[in-house]
Every structure is written in C-alpha cells, then in structure tokens.
Chains A and B, each alone.
Chain A
C-alpha cells in the first residue's frame, strides 16, 4: 500500500532556482494538501485542492504555485526559491466531505535553499 508518495526526499537549491515537488496518492481521495513544517511552528498550510480541478490558497501561499494534474497528483512549484523557503514539505490527502476522517501524509521533502 503506497498511500501518499512524495518526490524527491531531499533537495538543495540555489537562490532563484525553480523546482517542482511531486505528490501522488492511490487512495482515491478527493482532497489534497501541501504543508510546510518549520521548527516551533508546526505544520502550516500552503495550498489545498478540495477536488480535481480546484485549488485554494492556505495560510502561507506566497512564493508557491500548485497544479492538481488529476485526481491522483498534486504538485507544488517554487518559481524562484528563497532561503526563507528552506523547510520540510509534506503532501497529504483526505476524503472530502468526511471532515472527521484522518488525513494521510507523505514522508516529506527536505528542501534547503542556499
């Protein structure tokens, strides 16, 4: 059971470079999320997609873009990386409409911007 798969697991970027973080889920979930995790701040929502074809900003969307490619895949793009975007990024999915069910998380991408 793969669950939520993120790639890559680690990445180092130079300031100004761009990259795309990939996420795929095989649980037929409608909703997908991108979070960033920083020390002492818990997880903060960057963007989410309630269903295929829709995306919405979360708490900290600046500097990021997302694409819900299909029901399975939800990618996060950094167009021009900045040191402030050094973080651990988590993708998650859940069944929309069932707000009392759990979210499933990928293993994370550790991104360092130098």
Chain B
C-alpha cells in the first residue's frame, strides 16, 4: 500500500542551524508529495509540494526535492528561526479507485532555541 515514514522527533536546534527532516515513501504509481506544518493550537497548513519526480518545492526558506530513485522527499532549511518551531508532516496524495487519498507520516516536532 501507500505509506509515508518520517524521522522521529523531537528535533531540537539552535537558531540559525541547518535543518533536515527525513521523509521516505512507498507508493504505487506517481503520487504528489507535500509538507504540511502545524503550529501550536492550529490546524495543518501547506508548506510546500512537488507533483513529479525531480520537482523542488520551496516556501519560506524551506525546500524539498521529489526523489523517485530514493523514494524520498526530505525537508531542508538553511537557517532556522524560533518561529519555525512546529510539527511538520510529510504526506502523499494519490488516486484510489478514482478518488483522491491523502496519507500522512507521523509528524516530526521541531524545537528551535534562541
């Protein structure tokens, strides 16, 4: 079946450190890949996406590249800020018997210290 595996958290970094959150997936066909972010007390919101192999999604200094050969979509940021503290979810979207399905990883909590 289709699934997403994320690195476990929490990830604790100092401000301006480099961030990588690993995400790998298992899927049949050609899914779209997403990173969602959840700030404390809020719902999920889209951070970035990539819809085909070798696409790079980017937003707010975050980047992730759709790597079909390694089935990965790792999230990176060159210099994190305290305001980036949140839970990050990797997700994939695919068509299942004509209907869209969206599968999430378990989430990775990021804590950025001043």
- Chain A interface residues toward B at CB < 8 A: 4, 31, 33, 35, 40-45, 48, 50, 56, 90, 92, 94, 96-97, 99-100, 102-103, 105-108
Q: Does B58 contact A (CB under 8 A)?
A: no
| Inter-chain contacts of B42 with A (CB < 8 A) | 107-108
Q: How far is the CB of B56 from chain A (nearest CB, A)?
A: 15
* Contact between chains at B106 and A99 (CB < 8 Å): no
Whole-angstrom CA separation of A92 from B103 in the bound complex: 13
Q: How far is the CB of B37 from chain A (nearest CB, A)?
A: 11
A-B contact pairs, 19 of them (CB 8 A): A31-B100, A33-B102, A40-B106, A41-B106, A42-B106, A43-B89, A43-B104, A44-B104, A45-B101, A90-B43, A94-B100, A96-B100, A97-B100, A99-B95, A99-B100, A102-B46, A105-B44, A107-B41, A107-B42
Whole-angstrom CA separation of A74 from B30 in the bound complex: 29
Number of interface residues of B (CB under 8 A): 26
Q: How far is the CB of B4 from chain A (nearest CB, A)?
A: 8
| Inter-chain contacts of A43 with B (CB < 8 A) | 44, 89, 104
